[in-house]
């Protein structure tokens, strides 16, 4: 009986964890955001969601091999996790994308944190000396910029890609999306489904 309960708990834990990085996976992220949105609504507080993407990750895989790429993802995941507070969350979202969920955090605080993370990750070495690790990020803040997981994710993701394009063009002045925060939702290239609310269950 004890063996079965331990096995069940291990299986449950595995279902919520990304195998490569050891970080929470998308399933856990969804449940965590549901709890945090409910908490922020109840307390009248803010919550920041940051989408982070590794710059030119394909070049690392092509030049150094997939093993080096996997190692880079693990190291980036470790740095992101260690840089946030115990009650915040860093999850691997997909491929070379991560999502941070920062409780009781406004846009300026989230922007400062993203800048710190960018500086830390640029210090990581890769086998090819011609390549440098870097990340681009986009921020969305509950409740003023979205009241659901879907709307916050869409906005943060859009801002991340805009910032990534700015970094590649050489005209990058706003790593944390401060300027993008002033853009009206209607001016974005994505449709932000503000009316879709997150439920606690997982699909």
How do the domains of the chain map onto residue ranges?
A: 2-187
Compute mean pLDDT per 10 residues along the chain, 203 residues long, and list them. 52 82 97 98 98 94 92 96 97 98 98 96 84 93 98 98 76 41 35 34 33
CA distance 23 to 36: 18
Exposure b/e, 157-190, CB count within 10 A at least 16 = b? bbbbebbbebbeeeeeebbbbbebbeeebeeeee
HSE of 138 in the Cβ direction (CA atoms, 13 Å)? Answer: 25
Instruction: Return the SS3 of 130.
Output: coil
**What pLDDT score does 13 carry?**
64
Task: Indicate the pTM of the whole model.
Answer: 0.78
At the top level of CATH, which class does the domain 2-187 belong to?
alpha beta
Instruction: Return the SS3 of 49.
Output: strand
CA distance 85 to 48: 13
**What pLDDT score does 178 carry?**
42
Instruction: Return the SS3 of 202.
Output: coil
Q: Which residues are catalytic?
A: 96
Q: Measured on CA atoms in the order 153, 154, 155, 160, is the torsion positive or negative?
A: positive
CA nearest neighbour of 99 among 109, 86, 84: 84
**What pLDDT score does 112 carry?**
97
**What pLDDT score does 106 carry?**
98
**What pLDDT score does 141 carry?**
98
């Amino acid at each position: 009986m004890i063996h079965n309960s331990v096995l069940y708990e291990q299986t449950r834990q595995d279902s919520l964890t990304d195998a490569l990085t050891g970080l929470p996976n998308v399933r856990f992220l969804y449940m965590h955001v549901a709890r945090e949105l409910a908490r922020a609504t109840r307390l009248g507080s803010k919550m920041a969601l940051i989408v982070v993407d590794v710059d030119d990750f394909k070049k690392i895989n092509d030049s150094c091999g997939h093993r080096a790429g996997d190692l880079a993802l693990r190291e980036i995941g470790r740095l992101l996790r260690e840089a946030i507070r115990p009650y915040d969350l860093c999850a691997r979202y997909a491929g070379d994308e991560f999502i941070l969920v920062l409780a009781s955090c406004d846009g300026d605080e989230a922007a400062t944190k993203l800048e710190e993370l960018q500086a830390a990750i640029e210090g990581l070495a890769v086998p090819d000396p011609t390549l440098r690790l870097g990340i681009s990020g986009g921020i969305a803040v509950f409740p003023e910029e979205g009241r659901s997981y879907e709307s916050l994710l869409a906005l943060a993701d859009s801002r991340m890609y805009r910032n990534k394009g700015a970094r590649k063009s050489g005209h990058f002045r706003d790593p944390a999306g401060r300027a993008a925060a002033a853009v009206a939702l209607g001016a974005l290239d994505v449709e932000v489904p503000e009316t879709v609310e997150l439920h606690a269950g997982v699909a």
